[in-house]
Amino acid sequence: MEEISVINIKEALIQHFHDNMQFIGKVDSPRIADIRQQAIATFSELGFPDIKQEKWRNTDLSKVLERSYSFSATPQPQNVNVDELFKCEVPGFDTQSVTVLNGWYMNGGKMLTTLANGMVVGSLRAAFEAFPELIEKHYAMYADHKIHGLSALNTAMAMDGVFIYVPDNVVAEKPLQMVSVINMNEDSMIQLRNLVILGKNSKLTLVQCDDSIDDHRSFINTVSEFYLADNAHLDHYKLQNKNDRSTLINSSWFHLERSANLSSNGISLNGGFIRNESYATLAGSGSHADLLGLYLMDRNQHIDNQIFVDHASPDCTSNEQFKGILDDHASGVFNGHILVRKDAQRTNAYQNNKNILISDKAVIDTKPFLEIYADDVKCSHGATIGQLDEQAMFYLRSRGISYENARMLLMYAFAAEIVNKISIEQLRNRIDDLVKKRLRGELSICDQCVLHCNAQEQRVAFKIDMSRI
Amino acid sequence: MEKDPKNIIDEVTQSEYKYGFFTDIEMDTAPKGLNEDIIRFISLKKNEPQWLLEFRLDAYRKWLGMTEPTWAHLHHPPINYQDIIYYAAPKRKKELSSLDEVDPELLDTFKKLGISLEEQKRLSGVAVDAVIDSVSVKTTFSDTLEKKGILFCSFSDAVQKYPDLVKQYMGSVVPSDDNYFAALNSAVFTDGSFCYIPKGVRCPVELSTYFRINAANTGQFERTLIIGDEGSYVSYMEGCTAPMRDENQLHAAIVEIIALKDAQVKYSTVQNWYPGNKKGEGGIYNFVTKRGICKGNNSKISWTQVETGSAITWKYPSVVLMGDNSVGEFYSVAVTNNYQQADTGSKMIHLGKNTKSTIISKGISAGYSNNSYRGLVKMTKRAENSRNFSQCDSLLLGDKCGAHTWPYIKTENKSSIVEHEATTSKISDDQLYYCNQRGISTENAIGLIVNGYAREVLKQLPMEFAVEAQKLLAVSLEGSVG
């Protein structure tokens, strides 16, 4: 493979942008076209984030960027049936499902679907033309492309993704599942952009899945914007189960209006290099955000959770809880930031990060950070790194439970605090199951998978048994 | 009649800095500015050996290549390093052997500060090394200490008398290129205290250094070096004040502590540099590097600080826990009022096995001030079975101030346990109501709550200091509050 330095990737991307400007910005409104230009300028100024930046000091992209990636501006012809390519492994999970393949919305050629209740689900690119008003009002209004180079890159280059619009007073009965899969014959870099708009008093359960179905390297840079109007309610799940060679940058920007309620739950079971960024702006008074996360990492995997909660209005509450178990050479980063602005009185914010290290080679960096400018607040944070509770262990062992079983039980209990908060029963059971398997050392995706991408020498061509994936 | 709590908090901000007087002593100063010649001048003035001059010049050259750190949550106009006098000393007529010979003006200064320079205060049993502006003026009790083999003198004296010890340990904990301000200090430091406790000796008295900036336009750059040899024990105290001036003055100090096997060093600070006036004009810029190393097994270093002064505080007393079973402690109360800014905390670097550290930090912010805790706890691979507990609480008095917490935690082994907790709150109406209901006025209740809040740290201070610290809390915050 040809070695390409980080600088070259950057230059190549900028070149690619200018060369394909016609296609990339084909459906842009003047405002969006302007934002793209600003974003590419920001990207050429900032480049890719490096470890000299405070928020990236423990997440080093340079190794990942040493590889070469292909990036194409047009969707590659995919005559595949997405449903055959990817099968959701949650049994009995009744969802409305949409798929994004290699960064392009796929739904058998139908780009925008209006459901019976008035909800619109479809391709973002199609929505640019079909719903210009909504796009003008919300697109690129919440995500700050200046925050780092990757965000700028996405803003400049992203062409498609999922667009969801839930009109006022509509309650979506079925959970909506957004699956992003990569099936490329080469190592690719993909920019994906999602926009989710929830009208007043509406309610949506959204499951965002990131999966790999092949063993190619991929670099996915996703930016998702979520707008929650007054009293809207969003249940958001992020399930990440990628191959060990994938890089996933996932930034979610939530904007909450008055009395809106957000529950975001990120479960990272497998993935080579994951960085989740969640930014929640509590813009309306009385809004509430729950940001939860669970990560179970091993081998050389790296997980980075960056959480920023901006209390911009009074009487809001937020709750952050992240838990992780790290084994082998895995490394984890937690960077929480609660900002309470001057007038955000009567804020109640909580932040917690708990970690268990199973191996001596695993590393965890945690930084729960509070920045407070209002006085009538209750803010607390906590972080622990350690092992299982010795007293609890003693209690179990004194009742005749073997060390191994007791250890498993306690680790499971550790993870259960997050898993139990999943409100969809089938999903909860499945995650529960995966966590158990994971803790027993039966690695979730890779060990079940027939591809054995970690053991390269064994790669032989054979028919894939779809039922096992 | 019961006063409105709002008024009480306002009243709290009324109290004035009471150490703001200026003493007119004849001074010996260097010209303003910083260059190699000034460093040679300082070195010459102090009659230093060649190696020390080299050390200074080396640090200066490193400093030239460094940039001022900007990561702290502090805002101040750029410091003009050429507009500072780097050497200012009370004119010394001759060697002093008894207090009678000390400049009466100077004695008066220390009397006002309430420092036991005088023999009669012998009863309080504190050995004091007083550093005014840049130079140590008087060290009491040195004879008594010498009998025990304890070396306690000004840094300049130590360079002359015990060059081997100074050479061996100076810069071993805080290297001259450790950070921008440490490099500056290493280049231009003028004096400070030196202390060596020999093997197995338990220092019978509290050792104390009193720092005072007096002259205008001067920076104070002192250096403290404390060496606890095997099995020794010492409790060391540091206090500081400065006159009220409209311009900002720079203070960049270094404190190095070395604890060898089984040694224990306890370092307490009551920092009360002039914080500036109510509009945020003037005050000391306090950029201090304090670090201790638990070099031997079973050693212990404990930092206790009460920070009430300075316009800007930039200070992170740290402990490197190198020896197995060593212990590091950090207790801090930081009070900021008006436009004061504090960015302070601690670093605990665990290198040895079974090492333990505790961080208790209490921040109180009032007025327009910003008070930040910034800390690092690092468990390296070798530091098996190590333990850290950190607690960082912030109390907000008033809605214009800020309180921030930046804890960095890094763990590289599986057997260590790190716990961190932090809370931020104001004095709740419930607490006040509870007190009121029991006949305690709002005024007294606030006093009670603030004192109770800081108590965990104050109780760590040596008795002599605890009294001063409590008074300082009263001055800085409580106003009419008891």
Q: Is A201 on the interface with B (CB under 8 A)?
A: no
Q: Which residue of B has its CA nearest to A389?
A: B417
Of B404, B409, B421, the CB nearest to A385: B409
Q: From the CA of A412, how many Å to the nearest CA of chain B? A: 18
Residue B21 makes CB contacts below 8 A (sequence gap 6+) with B112, B243, B244
Delimit the domains of chain A by residue range: 6-443
Going by pLDDT thresholds of 50, 70 and 90, the confidence category of residue A465 is low
Interface residue of B409, B419, B428 to substitute, partner A, most A CBs within 10 Å: B409
For residue A197, how many C-alpha atoms fall within 13 Å in the half-sphere facing its CB? 22
Q: What is the pLDDT of residue B119?
A: 40
Cα–Cα distances in angstroms (integers) from residue A404 to residues A330, A401, A410, A440, in the given order: 22, 8, 10, 10
DSSP letters for A1-60:
-----HHHHHHHHHHHHHHTHHHHTTT--HHHHHHHHHHHHHHHHH-S--TTSGGGTT--
Q: From the CA of A242, how many Å to the nearest CA of chain B? A: 25
Going by pLDDT thresholds of 50, 70 and 90, the confidence category of residue B481 is very low
CA B99 to CA B80: how far, in whole Å? 38
Query: Do B415 and A387 lie within an 8 Å CB cutoff?
Result: yes
φ and ψ of B114, to 5 deg: 75, 35
Share of chain A above pLDDT 90, in %: 17
DSSP letters for A276-332:
EEEEEEE-STT-EEEEEEEEEE-TT-EEEEEEEEEE-STT-EEEEEEEEEE-TT-EE
Interface residue of A372, A384, A390 to substitute, partner B, most B CBs within 10 Å: A372
Q: Is the pLDDT of residue B14 over 60?
A: no
Query: Do B413 and A357 lie within an 8 Å CB cutoff?
Result: yes
pLDDT (tens digit, 9 = 90+) per residue, A336-358?
899 998 888 888 999 888 888 88
Label residue A73 exposed, middle or buried (CB < 10 Å: 0-12, 13-18, 19+).
middle
Q: What is the pLDDT of residue B118?
A: 47
pLDDT (tens digit, 9 = 90+) per residue, A21-38?
887 877 888 888 888 888
Going by pLDDT thresholds of 50, 70 and 90, the confidence category of residue A448 is very low
Give chain B positions within 8 Å (CB) of A59.
Answer: none
Average pLDDT over residues A435-443: 70
Going by pLDDT thresholds of 50, 70 and 90, the confidence category of residue A446 is very low
Q: Is the pLDDT of residue A463 over 60?
A: no
Query: Do A368 and B422 lie within an 8 Å CB cutoff?
Result: yes
Average pLDDT over residues B214-220: 62
Q: Which residue of A has its CA nearest to B398?
A: A375
Q: Is the pLDDT of residue A469 over 60?
A: no
Give chain A positions within 8 Å (CB) of B417.
Answer: 384-387
Query: Do B410 and A365 lie within an 8 Å CB cutoff?
Result: yes
Residue A100 makes CB contacts below 8 A (sequence gap 6+) with A106, A160, A161, A162, A178, A179, A180, A181, A192
Q: Terminal CA-to-CA distance of chain A, rounded, Å? A: 29
Q: What is the pLDDT of residue A31?
A: 86
Q: What is the pLDDT of residue B145?
A: 76
DSSP letters for B188-257:
H--EEEEEEE-TT-B-SSEEEEEEE--STTB-B-EEEEEEE-TT-EEEEEEEEE----SSEEEE--EEEE
Of B412, B417, B422, the CB nearest to A363: B412
Q: Is A367 on the interface with B (CB under 8 A)?
A: yes
Label residue B400 exposed, middle or buried (CB < 10 Å: 0-12, 13-18, 19+).
middle
Query: Do A54 and B71 lie within an 8 Å CB cutoff?
Result: yes
Q: Is A428 on the interface with B (CB under 8 A)?
A: no
Q: What is the pLDDT of residue B265?
A: 92
Q: From the CA of B424, how many Å to the nearest CA of chain A? A: 5
Candidates B186, B223, B218; CA nearest to B57 is B186
For residue A466, the SS3 value is helix
Return the amino acid letter for B284. I
Rounded to 10 deg, the angle between the A390-398 and A403-419 helix axes is 130
pLDDT (tens digit, 9 = 90+) per residue, A250-272?
899 999 999 999 999 988 877 78
Give chain A positions within 8 Å (CB) of B406.
Answer: 367, 369
Query: Do A370 and B402 lie within an 8 Å CB cutoff?
Result: no
Q: Which residues in B134-164 are b (16+ Cβ under 10 Å) and which e?
A: bbbbbbbbbeebeeeebbbbbbbbbbeebee
CA B326 to CA B153: how far, in whole Å? 28
Q: Which of A123-137, A294-308, B125-139 has the lowest mean pLDDT?
A: B125-139
User: Is A96 or A144 the better-scoring residue by pLDDT?
Assistant: A144
Q: What is the pLDDT of residue B96?
A: 45
Q: What is the pLDDT of residue B122?
A: 40
Average pLDDT over residues B140-159: 78
pLDDT (tens digit, 9 = 90+) per residue, A323-341?
988 888 888 999 889 999 8
Query: Do A386 and B416 lie within an 8 Å CB cutoff?
Result: yes
Interface residue of B371, B394, B405 to substitute, partner A, most A CBs within 10 Å: B405
Task: Report CA dihedral (A371, A372, A373, A378) to the nearest 10 degrees.
Answer: 170
Query: Do B409 and A366 lie within an 8 Å CB cutoff?
Result: yes
Q: Is the pLDDT of residue B294 over 80?
A: yes
Give chain B positions within 8 Å (CB) of A355.
Answer: 411
Give chain B positions within 8 Å (CB) of A360.
Answer: 381, 412-415
Please say whether the beta carbons of A291 and A309 come within 8 A: yes
φ and ψ of B272, to 5 deg: -135, 50
Going by pLDDT thresholds of 50, 70 and 90, the confidence category of residue B282 is confident
Q: From the CA of B341, how many Å to the nearest CA of chain A? A: 13
Q: What is the pLDDT of residue B299?
A: 93
Q: From the CA of B71, how many Å to the nearest CA of chain A? A: 9
Q: From the CA of B257, how many Å to the nearest CA of chain A? A: 28
CA B20 to CA B244: how far, in whole Å? 4
User: Is B89 or A208 the better-scoring residue by pLDDT?
Assistant: A208
Q: Is the pLDDT of residue A153 over 70?
A: yes
Query: Do A367 and B397 lie within an 8 Å CB cutoff?
Result: no
Query: Do A363 and B411 lie within an 8 Å CB cutoff?
Result: yes
Q: Is the pLDDT of residue A385 over 70?
A: yes
Query: Do A387 and B403 lie within an 8 Å CB cutoff?
Result: no
Going by pLDDT thresholds of 50, 70 and 90, the confidence category of residue A398 is very high
Query: Do B424 and A357 lie within an 8 Å CB cutoff?
Result: no
Query: Do B404 and A369 lie within an 8 Å CB cutoff?
Result: yes
Q: Which residue of B has its CA nearest to A384?
A: B419
CA A413 to CA A436: how far, in whole Å? 10
B interface with A, Cβ–Cβ below 8 Å: 71, 379, 381, 394, 396-426
Query: Do A385 and B394 lie within an 8 Å CB cutoff?
Result: no
Q: What is the pLDDT of residue B478?
A: 43
Q: Which residues in A9-44 are b (16+ Cβ under 10 Å) and which e?
A: bbebbbebbeebbeebbebbeeebeebbebbbebbb
Interface residue of B387, B411, B427 to substitute, partner A, most A CBs within 10 Å: B411
pLDDT (tens digit, 9 = 90+) per residue, A41-98?
888 888 888 888 888 888 888 877 877 777 766 665 555 665 555 656 666 667 778 8
Residue A440 makes CB contacts below 8 A (sequence gap 6+) with A408
Residue A441 makes CB contacts below 8 A (sequence gap 6+) with none
For residue A382, the SS3 value is strand
Q: What is the pLDDT of residue B297?
A: 92
Cα–Cα distances in angstroms (integers) from residue A309 to residues A277, A343, A348, in the given order: 11, 15, 12
Give chain A positions within 8 Å (CB) of B422.
Answer: 368, 370, 380-382
**What's the sign of the alpha-carbon dihedral A458, A462, A467, A469?**
positive
CA B372 to CA B343: how far, in whole Å? 5
Q: Which residue of A has its CA nearest to B393?
A: A380
Query: Do A368 and B415 lie within an 8 Å CB cutoff?
Result: no
Of B404, B418, B426, the CB nearest to A385: B418
Strand partners, B329: B302, B358
User: Is A314 or B92 the better-scoring residue by pLDDT?
Assistant: A314
- Please give the mean pLDDT across all residues of chain A: 81
Label residue A191 exposed, middle or buried (CB < 10 Å: 0-12, 13-18, 19+).
buried
- Please give the mean pLDDT across all residues of chain B: 78
Q: From the CA of A306, how many Å to the nearest CA of chain B? A: 14
Q: Is A330 on the interface with B (CB under 8 A)?
A: no
Q: Is A374 on the interface with B (CB under 8 A)?
A: yes
Average pLDDT over residues B16-30: 62
Going by pLDDT thresholds of 50, 70 and 90, the confidence category of residue A455 is very low
Cα Rg for chain A, rounded, in angstroms?
22
Query: Do B381 and A381 lie within an 8 Å CB cutoff?
Result: no
Average pLDDT over residues B59-84: 85
CA B310 to CA B342: how far, in whole Å? 8
Q: What is the pLDDT of residue A52?
A: 81
Q: From the CA of B379, how many Å to the nearest CA of chain A? A: 10
Q: In terms of DSSP bridges, do strands B327-336 and B300-307 run parallel, antiparallel, or are they unpaired?
A: parallel
Given phi > 0 = left and psi -120 to 50 = alpha, else beta, which region is B115? beta
Q: Is the pLDDT of residue B162 over 80?
A: yes
pLDDT (tens digit, 9 = 90+) per residue, B438-473?
998 877 787 778 878 888 777 777 766 676 666 666
Q: Is the pLDDT of residue B103 over 80?
A: no
Q: From the CA of A182, how many Å to the nearest CA of chain B? A: 34
> H helices then E strands: how many in chain A?
12, 20
Question: pTM of the predicted model, to two decimals?
Answer: 0.78
Share of chain B above pLDDT 70, in %: 75
Q: From the CA of A43, how many Å to the nearest CA of chain B? A: 23
Chain A residues 339-358 with a CB less than 8 Å from chain B: 342, 345, 355, 357-358
Q: Any idea what the Cα angle at residue A54 is, between residues A415 and B304, rounded to 5°?
A: 85
Going by pLDDT thresholds of 50, 70 and 90, the confidence category of residue B269 is confident
Contacts A–B by Cβ distance under 8 A: 110
Candidates A192, A226, A181, A213; CA nearest to A71 is A192
Average pLDDT over residues B50-60: 89
Task: Count CB atoms within 10 A of the CB of residue B74.
Answer: 18
pLDDT (tens digit, 9 = 90+) per residue, A109-118?
778 888 888 8
